[in-house]
Amino acid sequence: MKNERLPKQKINKRKKSSKQKLNKRKKRWGKNVVANLFFVFFTVLCLIMLSTTRTHLVDGNSMLPTFENRDRMIVSKTTRIERYDVVTFEPKDQRSKSYVKRIIGLPGDAIWLDGTNLYLNHQLREPVNSSGKTVNQTDIPDGTLKIKLSQGIARSLEGLARIPEKKYFVLGDNRNNSRDSRTIGLIDADQIEGVAVYRYYPFTRMGRIH
């Protein structure tokens, strides 16, 4: 009886061994498929991120208290620019640098000058003081911003009743220490790198940018 059972036991062992090997191969194949899918997904995600976003390192204190020197942020290249968005852009006279400022004036906003004082109002349908006469303080419409410009920039804006298409007026949040549209003028749309959407460093102040 023992001699008859041995072959059956060996056969069963072989079957079990074959099944185990098959199961191992299936598991390895499944793991490889998952790993490959994850790699493809990660690669596609990286390509999308590279094509739609960039990073920016804050250099200086012009955006205090919103951003401090050496803060790091993610900038979206595809987000539509709206009023008060924080954007990064290349200044025309320093193409190797990247500034971060806040959008104050959009294309179509009403503007007028009184000497080197710029008045900006985005709610007006008709521009004020198109005749070039001095504006009295009592005549200034509600919601108007008064901004002191350099003489050179004031001269460059003479004759404008509105911010032209594809032009923007930007200011640093730290008004007393910022090189912005008051001294460099309106910036072009093609200078803008994108809208700052997320601060990722320092870790203690990570979060969305408003």
**Identity at 50, one-letter amino acid code:** L
Residue 51 known to be catalytic: no
- In whole angstroms, give the CA distance from residue 199 to residue 196: 8
- Residues 57 and 194: their CA atoms lie apart, in Å, by 14
Both tokens assigned to 168: 């923007």
Which one is catalytic: 10, 21, 62, 181? 62
**In the 3-class helix/strand/coil scheme, how is 28-70 assigned residue by residue?**
HHHHHHHHHHHHHHHHHHHHHHHHHEEEEECCCCCCCCCCCCC
Given 26, 51, 101, 133, which residue is catalytic?
101
Whether 107 contacts 163, CB under 8 Å: yes
The position carrying tokens 């998952």 is: 34
- The first and second tokens of residue 11, run together, are 């056969």
Residues 155, 157, 158: CA angle, nearest 5 degrees: 65
Taking the C-alpha atoms of residue 129 and residue 203, their distance in angstroms, rounded to an integer, is 49
Catalytic residue at 62? yes
Burial group, residue 31, by CB count within 10 angstroms (0-12, 13-18, 19+): exposed
* Active site amino acids: 62, 101
